[in-house]
Amino acid sequence: MTATLIEGKPIALDIRAEVAAKVALFQAKLGRAPGLTVVLVGEDPASQVYVRNKGVLTREAGMVSDEIKLPADTAQSDLLALLGKLNADPLVDGILVQMPLPPHIDSQAVVAAIDPAKDVDGLHPVNAGYLAQGIEALVPCTPKGCMIMLERIKAQVPKAEVAGASALVIGRSILVGRPMGALLLSANATVTMAHSRSRDLPALCAEADIVVAAVGKPEMVRGEWLKRGAVVIDVGINRIAKEDGKTKLVGDVHFASAVEVASAITPVPGGVGLMTTACLLQNTLDAACARARIKL
């Protein structure tokens, strides 16, 4: 068996086109475009690339993108004061503080200082609380993207139907694993959450119709662990060394063995990663519409 590939690019392109069309309607109704402000503290090279990329795609969708770059030694109080100003700015619909923050800044305090209505990363405790209660709110972008992938692939791969499925989420981070589990539960899956203290991961995988791996351990989940026909969503992005001294990106799932057992699988790169920014644009539009009390 060779699994169907769940590629992120066509789905992400569709979402971005849908967002751009609705942004034009928003502009026509309100005389302005939705605005996203991304705050970057320090000079982490990977974060700089992410922020630049988010800016390009935001503008491509017709939205206003503002990037605020602060030095690595910015005091926490100054960052909180900036967030206060952005919260009060009527032209700012979405605020995203790029993680990780320098170690002297308490990232929880920073996330909690963002107006939940502008929290396009969906990490504010209010939004996390809504999600835990199964109430629609701003949802973290990566798990939102995974749910959209499952939804889109199910016409082709019926085993991707979430309702009634046994779903295993490996990883329980606030950014990915926990919200993923909550979304799957809201969509009527029977959800098992695994983490570093779980006793027998292969046995848990063997029971799962849907496996979502969000661990940060290169190629940890082996094809031999999977139930035949499982649907595999690989969130992991890990850079490893190749024999020729160069590097390559791999997921948390050992793709070559998993593709022989699964009925559908996301590739790395080219899978979930592309969905995250598309969902950020979607969240920014949703936040703008909710703040303007309009439905498009």
Angle between helices 272-292 and 8-30 (to 10 degrees): 20
> Which residues touch 290 (CB under 8 Å, ≥6 apart)?
117
Distance in angstroms (rounded) separating the CA atoms of residues 233 and 15:
19
Size of the site for ligand NDP (CB under 6 A): 26
In the bound state with ligand NDP, the residue whose beta carbon lies nearer, of 152 and 291, is 152
Supply the minimum distance, in Å, between the C-beta of residue 135 and ligand NDP. Answer: 23
Alpha carbons 192 and 206: distance in angstroms, whole number? 12
Name the nearest CA neighbour of 113 among 34, 58, 178, 39: 39
- How many CB atoms lie under 10 A from the CB of residue 104? 10
Stretch that binds ligand NDP, among 23-31, 84-92, 129-137, 196-204 (CB under 6 A): 196-204
Give the dihedral sign, CA 212/216/221/222.
Answer: positive
Which is nearer to ligand NDP, 157 or 253 (by Cβ)? 253
**Which of 6, 23, 97, 214 contacts ligand NDP by CB under 6 A?**
214
Q: Which of 51, 110, 185, 215 binds ligand NDP (CB under 6 A)?
A: 215
Site string for ligand NDP, 217-246 (x = CB under 6 A): x-----------------xxxx--------
CB of 283 vs ligand NDP, minimal distance in Å:
14
Q: Does 272 bind ligand NDP (CB under 6 A)?
A: yes
Q: Is 249 an interacting residue with respect to ligand NDP (CB under 6 A)?
A: no
Binding residues among 131-190 for ligand NDP as defined by CB under 6 A: 142, 170-173, 175-177
Q: How far is CA 215 from CA 47, 123, 211, 220, in A?
A: 20, 18, 12, 8
- Cβ 57 vs Cβ 276: under 8 Å: no
Cβ atoms within 10 Å, residue 191: 22
Q: Of the residues 119, 121, 209, 252, which is catalytic? A: 121
Closest separation between CB of residue 178 and ligand NDP, Å?
8
User: Within 10 Å of residue 216's Cβ, how many Cβ atoms?
Assistant: 14
Among 39, 168, 201, 230, binds ligand NDP (CB under 6 A): 201
Tell me which of 98, 118, 209, 286 is the catalytic residue: 98
Q: Which of 54, 118, 144, 227 is catalytic?
A: 54
Q: Between residues 33 and 167, which has the closer beta carbon with respect to ligand NDP?
A: 167
Is 121 an active-site residue?
A: yes
CA dist., res. 23 & res. 20, Å (int): 5
Structure tokens at 100: 């990780």
Active site residue 133: no
- The yes-or-no answer on residue 98 being catalytic is yes
- What are the residue numbers of the active site? 54, 98, 121
Question: Which parts of this chain interact with ligand NDP (CB under 6 A)?
Answer: 142, 170-173, 175-177, 194-198, 201, 214-217, 235-238, 252, 272-273, 276
